[in-house]
Amino acid sequence: MSYQGWIIVIGILAAMSCALLGNFLVLRRMSLLGDAITHAVLPGIATAFILSQSRSSVFMFLGAVVVGVLTAFFTEWLRGVGNVDEGASMGVVFTTLFALGLVMLVQGAGKVDLDPKCVLYGAIELTPLDKVSVGSLRIPRAALILAGVLVVNSVFVFTFFKELCLTSFDPALANTMGFRAARMHYVFMVLVSVTAVACFESVGSILVVAMLIVPAATAYLLTDRLGWMLVLSMAIGAASAALGFESAKRVPAWFGLSSTTTAGMIAVMAGVFFAGAAMFAPRHGFVIKWLRRQALSLQILSDDVVAYLFRREEMQQPSVDAKTLSTDLLAGSLAFPLATWLLRRGGDLEGTHEFRLTKAGRERGKRLVRSHRLWEQYLVDQAGVGTDRIHGSAEQFEHFTDRDMREQLARQTDAPDRDPHGKPIPKEHE
Amino acid sequence: MILNGASTVRAWRLAGWILFGGVLATLGGCAGEPSDTTDSWGRVLLMRDYNTRVVVLGVAMLGGAAGLVGSFMLLRKRALLGDALAHASLPGIAIAFLVAVAAGLDEKSITVLSIGATLSGLAGVALILFIRSQTRIKEDAAMGIVLSVFFGAGVALLGIIQKMDKGHAAGLEEFIYGKTASMVADDARGIAYVSLLALIVCVLLYKELKLLCFDEGFASSRGYPTMGLDIVLMSMVVLVTIVGLQAVGIILMIALLVIPAAASRFWTDSMSPMALVAAGLGALGSAIGGLVSALAPGLPSGAMIVLACAGFFFISLFFGTRRGIIVRWIRRVQLARRIDRQHLLRAMLECIEQTTPSSSDRAEHHALDLSPLRKTPISIEQLLAMRSWSEKRLRLTIDRAVDHDLVRAKESQCTLTQAGFYEAARLTRQHRLWEMYLITHAEIATSNVDRDADAIEHVLQPEIVDQLEELLDSNGMTIVVPPCPHESSPGSQHVSAAGGTA
């Protein structure tokens, strides 16, 4: 495989193994733990270096994982024993450990080229250089490690899916049912540490934080099922890794600049996916929710126009000019033309400046007015509401009342001819 | 050792404050009396060097300001917001650099970079608040998303900048990673202005910010502009963070915002002392860290400041006078002993009750006068059968009750003293009143009330007992005090303890 192909593969593997565990971090509201662990592992690396006097990655990996688990443990301990707020205890622990690591590095490892900045930024571009032989293949070490982490994580999540689900959503229930929520928590923490350390060794800490949280949060916006959330988050993580790599080469070129850091662009890509989901997720996207609200208010305005014209027909004034209509309905200057245009297109309304109802429009108006007056009758009859206070409620209910409900209302109120105000209730169209 | 109620806690609290003051005094002493033998120590501690003076004063002011705004942030449960916004300032720095290069300004000007960082940090905070309010994503995830994506964008922009031919990008990261030891007077002056501003804002808006921290809903219902106040508070954090970022670096800035505030939480429960202690701890920790790193040039000053603050945090965690681990442990032990003592007294009274010949009267709704039987000796075996407690624990409890003159013990027999008898009668009465209440008003089966009453009898306040008496229409506890037979001598009391009229 090509050099660039390997970068993409490593990026995808890191993204998928992080995203898988990240789902549970997001659900347990511990999203910043990844950030804390990646900063806090410094003393572990320093200790391993001082003890082994080598830059052997095995020792450093072990040291980092141990300190990563300790970070999670101390955070939990401070929260439980010291009554410290969760975020604050995380902040205390990771900054202290980071400072400790810095001092140890400076004191014990004076002349090492162990650069904290390199840890933070990561150098995913250089990972394919470090290859190991597996059989006849030459595979980058990072790809091998990350593939192993991904397999372990997948097996863990698949095996303990039910337990993870239960302990994430309702730890108290899990405890009463005999699952050890605390034990599950620590196993999970070990895996998060292993994953974070394995990933930041090859791709940098900032990418670990991004990959742990952003794809999972994106998936959380897209679905309400945990299973789908896991699958989606992994897909989004993989997609942002691939697209991030491409955009790191291409986006700066649009401005006549050379390529930029891959890790940074992968994080940005994940952010783009999140922004897209936050805006356009079918159920939870805020643009979608806004559009839905606008569509509803437009429909209500159309209903109001039709019902208004129907009432004027009752008073033998079948047509009305646009200005009177819009002022009487208090319609917005943008919504009103849109509503009348939609009504004309739907065949409910005719005329351009003087509006009048078509036959279909008259039927729609009749239905609405019938719903309105039946509701008024019902509210007076059955709910004992005063005649002067029924109009507002009926005005709201009329938009959501279908034929079945009208028939039910008519039955409950003994199919009256006139409403409490003495207006005739139109008959249902046969 | 007899742990005697609230006074021990009070003594402990005093001791804690003395310890706290002692640390301060020692430091003051160190600065005041330089020893001749270690001249370099004296030079540093007296801050004779201009450079040391600038660095120590600068970080101390920064620590104070960060502790002050950090305590508001902690109470708002946004301790890690500083983390998010410090990372989020990176793209602003890069963009400011690019703009400055394009406009032909001095691209390394601290003013330009600071403006970029501030705007970008504010944008990050605004985005966090927006994500939290407009989507189903929770605050922690929103912080993580903004932190990582903004920082990623900043890294990408820096990657571009480093490959540009124009401008000198080297050292741009220093803006984020800091360079405490080489802090210059201009930096310290900037910190001083911002700290002063933060102090003025916190003092002027103290009441409003306090309300915002403790009850946002109430604040907005009283017509306070909570959104505006939130923005003011966040802006303070952004300003302090940005000015601190270039001076001391990202990790240290987070530490200064979080650690002093979290540490001062152990010493007090009220807002203004907490803010003061946080500011003091922040300033002190920073000064100590700065001094230590000046003494040993090999030690990175940022890390030493964090470690000094962390040291204060751990001292506070254990010795804090309000919520520290030790004081809470003492309170727990005291409560456990009080509960054991009360169980013992009630068990003894119930033993006496069982041995009375007229125990069948109890079924006939008669209150018993047990006082003549007060001196009935009760054996350990009898008491062991009353509840599930180990013999060791029972003997310990008896020993402590003997110390309190509530019980007299002789070998394996014990008797109630006069005081112990009153106390036992009072407790048993409370226990039974509560049982009665559960039976008559909560409709709980007679067989199930004992356990509930057992738990609550220790915390029933006199007012509640009064209310129970009113509800249950019970006759109060009658203590017959005979007239004094002669002047000035305390009269002997005669007690008739009426248990519940069950």
Tell me the pLDDT tens digit for each residue of A366-421.
Answer: 889 999 988 888 888 888 888 888 888 888 888 888 888 888 888 888 888 888 88
Which helix (H) or strand (E) is B12 found in, with range? helix B5-32
Residues of B in Cβ contact (< 8 Å) with A95: 251-252, 254-255, 258-259, 306, 310
Residues of B in Cβ contact (< 8 Å) with A103: 299-300, 303-304, 307
How far is residue A121's CA from residue A202's CA, in Å, rounded to a whole number? 10
Q: Do B307 and A99 touch (CB under 8 A)?
A: yes
Pairing state of beta strands A349-350 and B413-416?
unpaired
Q: What's the DSSP call for residue B299? A: S
Q: Answer whether A100's CB lies under 8 Å from A43's CB.
A: yes
pLDDT tens-place string over residues B156-205? 888 888 777 665 655 666 666 666 556 777 778 888 999 999 999 999 99
A261: closest CA of chain B, how far (Å): 5
Residue A257: Cβ within 10 Å count: 14
Whole-number Cα distances in Å, B439 to B442, B477, B496: 6, 21, 26
pLDDT at A343 over 90: no
Structure confidence at residue B50 (pLDDT): 76
Structure confidence at residue B204 (pLDDT): 92
For residue A219, give the chain B residue with the closest CA. B137
Interface test with B, best of A23, A24, A83, A96 (most B CBs within 10 A): A96
A138: closest CA of chain B, how far (Å): 30
Who has greater pLDDT, B425 or A429? B425
Partner residue opposite B310 with nearest CB, options A89, A92, A252 = A92
Structure confidence at residue A17 (pLDDT): 93
pLDDT at A335 over 50: yes
Q: What is the 3-state secondary structure (H, E, C) of chain A?
A: CCHHHHHHHHHHHHHHHHHHHHHHHHHCCCCCHHHHHHHHCHHHHHHHHHHHCCCCHHHHHHHHHHHHHHHHHHHHHHHHHCCCCHHHHHHHHHHHHHHHHHHHHHHHCCCCCCCHHHHHHCCHHHHHHCEEEECCEEEEHHHHHHHHHHHHHHHHHHHCHHHHHHHHHCHHHHHHCCCCHHHHHHHHHHHHHHHHHHHHHHHCHHHHHHHHHHHHHHHHHHCCCHHHHHHHHHHHHHHHHHHHHHHHHHHHHHCCCCCCCHHHHHHHHHHHHHHHHHHHCCCCCHHHHHHHHHHHHHHHHHHHHHHHHHHHHHCCCCCEEHHHHHHHCCCCCCHHHHHHHHHHHCCCEECCCEEEECHHHHHHHHHHHHHHHHHHHHHHHCCCCCHHHHHHHHHHHHHHCCHHHHHHHHHHCCCCCECCCCCECCCCCC
B377 touching chain A per CB within 8 A: no
pLDDT at A325 over 50: yes
Residues of A in Cβ contact (< 8 Å) with B69: none
Q: Do B131 and A209 touch (CB under 8 A)?
A: no
For residue A40, give the chain B residue with the closest CA. B251
Interface test with A, best of B90, B137, B292 (most A CBs within 10 A): B137
How far is residue B17's CA from residue B319's CA, in Å, rounded to a whole number? 9
Q: Answer whether A218's CB lies under 8 Å from A275's CB.
A: no
Q: Do B148 and A286 touch (CB under 8 A)?
A: no
Structure confidence at residue B432 (pLDDT): 85
pLDDT at A89 over 50: yes
Structure confidence at residue B496 (pLDDT): 44
Residues of B in Cβ contact (< 8 Å) with A107: 298-299
Adjacent-strand bridge partners of A424: A418
Residue B178: Cβ within 10 Å count: 23
Structure confidence at residue A55 (pLDDT): 65
φ, ψ of residue A139 to 5 degrees: the values are: -115, 140
Q: Three-state DSSP class for B123?
A: helix
Contacts of A140 (CB under 8 A, 6+ apart): A6, A10, A127, A128, A129, A130, A131, A132
For residue A34, give the chain B residue with the closest CA. B144
Q: Dihedral through CA B32, CA B33, CA B35, CA B40, nearest 10?
A: 10
Q: How does the average pLDDT of chain A come out, rounded?
A: 86
The residue-averaged pLDDT of A333-341 equals 85
Q: Answer whether B66's CB lies under 8 Å from B101's CB.
A: no
Q: Dihedral through CA A64, CA A67, CA A68, CA A71, nearest 10?
A: -160
Which helix (H) or strand (E) is B379 found in, with range? strand B378-379
How far is residue B435's CA from residue B431's CA, in Å, rounded to a whole number? 6
What's the CA angle centered on B153, arms B150 and B158, to 5 degrees? Answer: 125
B207: closest CA of chain A, how far (Å): 23
pLDDT at A104 over 90: no
Q: Answer whether A48's CB lies under 8 Å from A59's CB.
A: yes
Q: Do B140 and A78 touch (CB under 8 A)?
A: no
Q: How much of chain A exceeds pLDDT 90, in percent?
A: 26
A201: closest CA of chain B, how far (Å): 17
Model ipTM? 0.86
Alpha helices in B296-417 (DSSP H): 301-319, 325-355, 380-386, 391-403
Structure confidence at residue B497 (pLDDT): 43
Q: What's the DSSP call for residue B416? A: E
Q: Do A29 and B141 touch (CB under 8 A)?
A: yes
Q: Answer whether B58's CB lies under 8 Å from B289's CB.
A: no
Q: Do A99 and B144 touch (CB under 8 A)?
A: no
Q: Which of A111-125, A194-208, A229-243, B225-239 has the lowest mean pLDDT?
A: A111-125
The residue-averaged pLDDT of A331-354 equals 83
Partner residue opposite A206 with nearest CB, options B77, B151, B325 = B151
Structure confidence at residue B363 (pLDDT): 44
Residues of B in Cβ contact (< 8 Å) with A35: 83, 144, 147-148
B 222-281: CB under 8 A from A: 251-252, 254-255, 257-259, 261-262, 265-266
| pTM to 2 decimal places | 0.81
Residues of B in Cβ contact (< 8 Å) with A117: 173, 177
Structure confidence at residue B314 (pLDDT): 93
Q: Do A85 and B79 touch (CB under 8 A)?
A: yes
B85 touching chain A per CB within 8 A: no
Residues of B in Cβ contact (< 8 Å) with A252: 160
Interface test with B, best of A38, A81, A213 (most B CBs within 10 A): A213
Partner residue opposite A265 with nearest CB, options B131, B156, B255 = B156
How far is residue B461's CA from residue B469's CA, in Å, rounded to a whole number? 13
Q: Dihedral through CA B372, CA B375, CA B381, CA B382, nearest 10?
A: 10
A92: closest CA of chain B, how far (Å): 6
Contacts of A198 (CB under 8 A, 6+ apart): A17, A61, A145, A146, A149
Structure confidence at residue B491 (pLDDT): 45
Who has greater pLDDT, A279 or B460? A279
Structure confidence at residue B299 (pLDDT): 78
Residues of B in Cβ contact (< 8 Å) with A210: 148-149, 152
Q: Do B313 and A92 touch (CB under 8 A)?
A: yes
Q: Three-state DSSP class for B338?
A: helix
Who has greater pLDDT, A229 or A114? A229
> What burial letters (b/e) apply to A54-78, b meaning 16+ CB within 10 Å?
eeeeebbbbbbbbbbbbbbebbbeb
Q: Do A87 and B266 touch (CB under 8 A)?
A: no
Who has greater pLDDT, A1 or A232? A232
Structure confidence at residue A120 (pLDDT): 57
pLDDT tens-place string over residues A127-169? 777 777 777 788 888 888 899 999 999 999 999 998 888 888 8
Q: Answer whether B299's CB lies under 8 Å from B292's CB.
A: yes
Among A22-26, A354-358, B55-59, name the most confident range.
A22-26
Residues of A in Cβ contact (< 8 Å) with B248: none
From first to last of the 502 residues of chain B, give the pLDDT tens digit. 444 555 666 666 666 666 666 565 555 544 444 444 455 666 555 656 777 788 888 889 999 999 999 999 999 888 888 888 888 988 998 898 888 888 877 766 778 888 898 999 999 999 998 998 888 898 889 999 999 999 999 988 888 887 776 656 556 666 666 665 567 777 788 889 999 999 999 999 999 899 988 888 899 898 888 888 888 898 899 989 888 887 778 888 899 999 999 999 999 988 899 999 999 999 999 999 888 888 877 777 888 889 999 999 999 999 988 888 999 999 999 999 999 999 999 888 888 887 766 545 444 444 556 777 778 888 888 888 888 888 888 889 998 999 988 888 887 788 888 888 888 888 888 888 888 888 888 888 888 888 888 888 888 888 888 888 888 776 656 666 667 677 654 444 444 444 443 3
B145 touching chain A per CB within 8 A: yes
B133 touching chain A per CB within 8 A: no
For residue B87, give the chain A residue with the closest CA. A206
Structure confidence at residue A116 (pLDDT): 55
